[in-house]
Chain A
Amino acid sequence: GQNIDQPTEMTATEGAIVQINCTYQTSGFNGLFWYQQHAGEAPTFLSYNVLDGLEEKGRFSSFLSRSKGYSYLLLKELQMKDSASYLCAVRDNKNSWGKLQFGAGTQVVVTP
């Protein structure tokens, strides 16, 4: 299985940049996902990495290093609506397509 670690909470001001780190241990690796979850709502897909490197989507970027078992999600030009929990999730190659193991999430608080 996987052990997934990410910080519990991070605080940043509006307009700033925040980097959320995620480390994982897996017996096999087949993709890493980042989801955003606002309080009381369903998680929504943000990004997917399966090869090493950086994937950029607007204000959000995600980086993966498979050799280090490490990923980060970068949120730029923070807005108040970015206050949410950010979930790191890993799929390993033992499991069939789609089964994900989730971290506990990082609560990002954006202050004015």
Chain B
Amino acid sequence: EADIYQTPRYLVIGTGKKITLECSQTMGHDKMYWYQQDPGMELHLIHYSYGVNSTEKGDLSSESTVSRIRTEHFPLTLESARPSHTSQYLCASSGAWMNTGELFFGEGSRLTVL
């Protein structure tokens, strides 16, 4: 059973607000990821981290930022939310010692910006 948690699950906010989506995992995984998914569409990688103090932008450009100060924690921040940021954000992690490198996903944070 994967142990990766995201909060909030659902968030409705107004334009211009700053928001932080939290993601924590208790599996000791070194690698963590943020994917963005619109309904019926593919997942797009927006950020990833290979360890503490390591963050990189993914394939899809995003105005969000991330930090990795602790192994288990990988929050995503939007400084000024806009309606175009409305989407589902999925956090995932994987461990270097795993043969397949499969991803374990959190349940997602569904963001609506009015």
Contact = CB atoms under 8 A, between A and B. Distances in A.
Say if A and B assemble together: yes
Interface in B44-65: 44-45, 48, 50, 58-59
Contacts of A42: 90, 105-108
A43 B92 CA distance: 10
B107 A43 contact: no
Interface string B2-21: 00000000000000000000
Interface stretch (A11-19, A70-78, A102-110): A102-110
B101 A1 contact: no
Contacts of A107: 40
Contacts of B90: 42-43
B13 to A, nearest CB: 20
Say whether chain A's binding surface is mostly helix, strand, loop, or mixed.
loop
9 contacts: A33-B103, A42-B106, A44-B105, A87-B42, A98-B33, A100-B103, A104-B40, A104-B42, A105-B42
Interface of B: 31, 33, 35, 40-45, 48, 50, 58-59, 90, 94, 96, 100-108
Contacts of B105: 42-44
A98 B101 contact: yes
Q: Which of B94, B101, B107 has the most chain A CB atoms inside 10 A of its CB?
A: B101
